[in-house]
Amino acid sequence: MAVWRSGEDDPLSLTAGGNTKPQSNDSSLFSLSAAENTKQLIDLLGKSGDLKERTFSYEKAEGRLLYFETIVDSGRIEESILRPLSETDMQNVEEALTVLEREEIADPDKAIAALMQGKVLLFLEGRSVCIACGVETFFLRSIMEPANEKVIRGSHDGFVENLNTNIALIRERLKSPGLMIEYVQLGQKTNTRVAIVYEKEIANPELVEELKRRVNSIDMDMMFDPGFLEDMVEDSTLSPFPQVLNTERPDRAIANIMDGRIALFGDGSPTCIIMPISFFALYQSPDDYNARTLPGSFYRLLRFLSFFIAILMPGFYIAIVGFHFEVLPADLILAIKGGVQTIPFPPIFEVLAMELAIEIIREAGVRLPTPIGQTIGIVGGLIIGDAVVSAGFASRTTVIVVAVTAISSFVAPSAEMSTATRLIRFPLMILASLFGFYGLMFGLVLIAMHLCKLESLGRPYFAPLAPFRLKDMLRDTFIKQPAWKKKTRPLDSHPIREGVEFGSREWVKK
């Protein structure tokens, strides 16, 4: 059920920070003249090209319609407003209107807010109120699988840019009376609707209130994308590690809501923000839960291994070539040393140049159309790799190290975590070039300390390693637990109901 914030009756009056819209210069209510009322609003709004005033006659008097033609359905105006009014007694206006959503408004500021939401304002002569009629038009794309979160098994639908459609996708799967939807409007100019979604019987009320407090404290002119909202609500914005989970998949959002987490949806964006989240949850994929236990556990462990490869492999290679050749077997030393002896640059510049080239190719591939981007990524990587080796600017071993590192960084199911791993390896490479293995270990200790200190919505980010909880680690962190064994929810979200209703596999003979 939809719930408005306490103490506020009309969602259209909500703006950033929970404050009402600024009052106009003329704070009086509407008069009894329809023409004066529309003129008052037009003076407040200015002469915008798409602001239309329409006059119609009834019972020897005139009525007025005021609306933005770019965000209303003109066909519905004729069918649901004008035609019924021409066929009925003006004493029964509310009964005649066939629009599903209508509301009487006496305050000009609230009327302007309704106008901005795509409503048509109906003014009748002799009435000091207007009727806001919901005939807004919707520009919707088809529901399809998110390009960045494809799965082999499972549902293949995703969120779209319309908030109501996204909430419907959640309700379609989660038919629980405890599912709560709370709306707030952010952005003094954009008035973007944001939905806070949680399961009241599972989510911790303290976390819900804390997230509401952070959202209600936002005071800015515009709120377009989740990036704006993420910066405003996460604990440490300067950390390379994401403290929220971004997803466009309804099944992933619902799974986290049922674990006691809270989801944030913004109108105009297909991305859902989920808090609180842990480091390890960012390496879990919907594919894990659609696979059997052993394959799911294997792929999850493979992702964690790829994290260490992505951040350590270039630094490890630089440390070996620059300081610690003795750790390699003799045959391997000769092979690597023979390749690097002819290179005119130190290992750090060699690897750093290749890493930057890979990042440039990746960025170019993202910006270009999909077929061209894929071609640039493959052909560009092959051509540049072969060219730098042939020219003697980099060894073959360096190209292999950089290629394996790049592939490993893309294994993370979260695009934000993938970006974080690519950023982290650069300071580790510099430390390895200065101090060898000692610098690498020092960098790892700093990263571990930072992860232990991080919080997501005030909860430990590195749980269940810090604080250490062995049972949680064995349940569903590093390995995928069988569905019939999942009797408790993850404790990192501090759910008020930790247990999961369980009664499966009773047919198994004991």
DSSP annotation string for 355-405: HHHHHHHHHHHHHS-HHHHHHHHHHHHHHHHHHHHHHTSS-HHHHHHHHHH
pLDDT value at residue 497 = 82
CB 197 within 8 A of CB 173: no
Q: How many CB atoms lie within 10 A of CB 311?
A: 27
* Averaged pLDDT, 322-341: 80
Calpha distance 129→254 (Å, rounded): 42
Tell me the residue type at 354.
Answer: M
DSSP string, 435-488: HTHHHHHHHHHHHHHHHHH-EETTEETTTTTTTT-HHHHHHHTSSPPPGGG--B
pLDDT band at 499 (very low <50, low <70, confident <90, very high): confident
Q: How many CB atoms lie within 10 A of CB 23?
A: 10
- Selected residue with higher pLDDT from 472 and 208: 208
Burial 239-251 (b: 16+ CB within 10 A, else e): ebbbbbbbbbbbb
Tell me how many degrees the CA angle 44-49-54 measures, rounded to the nearest 5. Answer: 75
pLDDT value at residue 299 = 92
pLDDT, one tens digit per residue, over 262-299 is 999 999 899 999 999 999 999 998 888 888 889 989 99
Report whether pLDDT(374) > 80.
no
Tell me the residue type at 34.
Answer: A
- Whole-number percent of the chain with pLDDT over 70: 89
Report whether pLDDT(479) > 50.
yes
User: In the 8-state DSSP scheme, what is residue 341?
Assistant: T
**Least confident range of 30-39, 134-143, 148-157, 314-323:** 134-143
pLDDT value at residue 25 = 43
Q: Quick one: 497 exposed, middle or buried, by C-beta within 10 A (0-12, 13-18, 19+)? A: middle
Report whether pLDDT(471) > 50.
yes
Report whether pLDDT(214) > 90.
yes
pLDDT value at residue 318 = 93
Task: Collapse the DSSP code of 36 into the 3-class scheme (helix H, G, I; strand E, B; otherwise coil) and give the result.
Answer: helix
Cis peptide before 464 (omega within 30 of 0): yes
Q: What is the bridge-based pairing of β-strands 192-199 and 245-247?
A: unpaired
pLDDT, one tens digit per residue, over 97-111 is 766 688 889 999 899
Report whether pLDDT(354) > 60.
yes
Q: What is the bridge-based pairing of β-strands 102-105 and 130-134?
A: antiparallel
pLDDT band at 188 (very low <50, low <70, confident <90, very high): confident
Burial 106-144 (b: 16+ CB within 10 A, else e): ebbbbbbbbbbbbbbbbbbbebebbbbbbbbeeeeeebe
Q: How many CB atoms lie within 10 A of CB 154?
A: 17
User: In the 8-state DSSP scheme, what is residue 81?
Assistant: I
pLDDT value at residue 91 = 62
* Averaged pLDDT, 486-504: 77
Which residue, among 325, 378, 319, 387, has the nearest Cα to 353 in the 3D structure? Answer: 387
